[in-house]
Amino acid sequence: MNFINLNGKILPSGEGAIPVDNGAFRYGYGLFETMLVQHGDIRLKDYHWERLFSGIRQLQFQLPVFFTPQWLEQQTLKLVKKNGADTLCRVRLQLFAAGGGLYSSESKQPLFVIECFPIEPTSITLNVNGLVIGIAAGLKKSTDSLGNLKSCNALIYAMAARQAKDHKWNDALIANTTGNICESTLANIFWVKDNQLFTPPLSEGCVAGVMRRHIIERFHPVTEKQLPLEELLAADEVFLTNAIKGIKWVTALGDRSYTSKWINTHYNNCMPTTTNP
């Protein structure tokens, strides 16, 4: 796309300048949201704003009075319209600590940048061919209070994604420090066993995904429980979820194959019926 929104100013994408001492660049101190804009509206926007502002409080940023979900939505859609992408696009909103100071920024007010990217309509529908996935080796995600955030500290995901590329997987699963599977590089994980739906609880360290939340609230019952490898291998079906791609079913993990009967039956019930919850 040709334009970005940097701290409330629409600029050509090649002209955006961010100080090199900003907290995201130096320390991963910041948050981001990836959002689907469809027909001029943000899908599951209330969940996105709730998660973002909860993270803002947790990272102890201090916001000016005008910095509200409504104002951010206006800033986001203004950029989307400027780029002529109202019909369908992916938006990335990144909020980060300003520069100055060691670890703790001299300013507690965050800066932000919004970008938007074109996507194909087929990328947000249920995949015909299932994903082939693996488990990232040598990486363990913490289950502390930062684990549920979409933070700018994404090194574990970058390294897991590199393993996926090297092994020609579509995605890589990530285990937490207790050895249980908690999520993938891009998504939350659900599995089906004996026609019952399961997903790891947030206490396992997974990101508090908005599509994950939507499915839990929309489709009852969903049981939250730990996911050791042996449970995953014994599952009947596995699928991954995120805010952009929605639901993607998995066909294989190593030599283990999975079906898609449950998700084919319940897909329409699990997905948002409108662009908003």
User: Is residue 275 domain-resident?
Assistant: no
- On whether residue 68 sits in a domain, the answer given is yes
- Residues 213 and 254 placed together within one structural domain of the fold: yes
Amino acid residing at 122: T
Which pair of tokens denotes residue 191? 């599995």
Same domain, 142 and 112: no
CATH number at residue 10: 3.30.470.10
For 208-230, write each residue's pLDDT tens digit.
999 999 999 998 789 999 999 99
Q: In this predicted model, what pLDDT tens digit does every residue of 43-90 receive, in sequence order?
A: 999 999 999 999 999 999 999 999 999 999 999 999 999 999 999 999
What is the H or E stretch that residue 31 is in? strand 30-38
Report the domain count for the chain.
Answer: 2
Task: Indicate whether 110 pLDDT > 70.
Answer: yes
- In terms of Cβ atoms closer than 10 Å to its own Cβ (0-12, 13-18, 19+), residue 142 is exposed
Same domain, 84 and 173: no
Is the pTM for the entire model greater than 0.85?
A: yes
Are residues 156 and 261 part of one domain? yes
Domain end among 119, 146, 161: 119
In a domain, 180, yes or no: yes
Average pLDDT over residues 199-207: 98
User: CA–CA separation, 232 vs 191, rounded Å?
Assistant: 7
Instruction: Kindly indicate the confidence band of residue 276, based on its pLDDT and cuts at 50, 70 and 90.
Output: very low
90 belongs to a structural domain: yes
Mean pLDDT of the chain: 93
| Together in a domain, 197 and 140 | yes
Are 105 and 23 found together in one domain? Answer: yes
Query: Rounded mean pLDDT of 159-177?
Result: 98
Q: In this structure, is residue 187 part of a structural domain?
A: yes
In a domain, 219, yes or no: yes
Band of the pLDDT at 274, cuts 50, 70, 90?
low
Residue 277 counted as domain residue? no
Pairwise CA distance, residues 74 & 236, whole Å: 43
85 and 181 in a single domain? The answer is no
Same domain, 156 and 86: no
User: What value does the mean pLDDT take over residues 151-167?
Assistant: 97
Q: At which of 60, 89, 119 does a domain end?
A: 119
| Amino acid in position 207 | V
Whether residues 29 and 153 share a domain: the answer is no
Is the same domain home to 138 and 111? no
Alpha-carbon separation of residue 114 from 143, 162, 225, 261 (angstroms): 29, 25, 35, 38
114 and 139 in one domain? no
Host domain of residue 178: 131-270
Picking from 150, 147, 175, the residue whose alpha carbon sits closest to that of residue 160 is: 175
157 and 262 both lie in a single domain:
yes
Residue ending a domain, choose from 68, 85, 119: 119
Q: Which two tokens stand for residue 264?
A: 């084919």
- Answer yes or no: is pLDDT of 100 > 70: no
Query: Where residue 259 sits, what CATH number does that domain have?
Result: 3.20.10.10
